Amino acid sequence: MQVMRAVVKHRADGDETKVFLIDANKDEDDILMREELDAASAKDPEHTHVWHTLSQSVPEGWKYDAGYVTEAMCRKHLIDFTAPDCPYKKDEVLALICGPPPMEKLAVKPNLEKLGFTAENMFTF
C-alpha cells in the first residue's frame, strides 16, 4: 500500500506511473484497506486498476472474481507482455508480489511468467 500511496501522491507532479493490482483474499472481511484501494481505483481508473478475488466465502452479487489467482485473471487485469499490442517495456515495469509463500510460488509467479515477466522485473516482499 505504501508504494501505491507514493505513486498516487506524485501524480500531482505529473508522474504517469500506473498501478495494476490483483488483491486476493479468503473472504471480503480479509480485504485490508479496501475503501482506500477502491477509492484510488475509482478516482483515477486510467492509472490505478484494482481487482479483487475471494477464494472461500464469496458474497452474493460479488462483482469481482472468485477463486485463486489464475493465468486468465492475470491476463485480464495485469500487463501482458506476450500480447502483440502491449505498449509497455519490460525494463519499465515491476511486479511487486506480497502474500503467503505457497500463493507466490504456485499461483502468482508462474502466471506472471506466462505473461512474459522475468526474475528481473518481479520482486517479492
- Specify the CATH number for the domain of residue 23: 3.40.50.80
The cell for 7 is 505513486
Residue among 51, 48, 50 nearest 6 (CA) = 48
Identify whether 49 is part of a domain. yes
Specify if 93 maps to a domain. no
Residue 41 lies in a domain: yes
Decide if 78 is inside a domain.
Answer: no
User: If pLDDT is split at 50, 70 and 90, which confidence band does 1 have?
Assistant: confident
Residue 11 has pLDDT above 90, yes or no: no
Is the confidence at residue 15, as pLDDT, over 90?
A: no
| Total of domains in the chain | 1
Mean pLDDT score of the chain: 95
User: Which pLDDT value is given to residue 81?
Assistant: 98
Domain-located, residue 33: yes
- Whole-model pTM? 0.92
Report d(CA 70, CA 82) in Å as an integer.
16
**What is the pLDDT at residue 60?**
97
State the residue for C-alpha cell 472481511. 29
Question: Which residues form the domain of 61?
Answer: 1-67
On whether residue 38 sits in a domain, the answer given is yes
Tell whether 30 is covered by a domain. yes
- In this predicted model, what pLDDT tens digit does every residue of 68-97 receive, in sequence order? 999 999 999 999 999 999 999 999 999 999
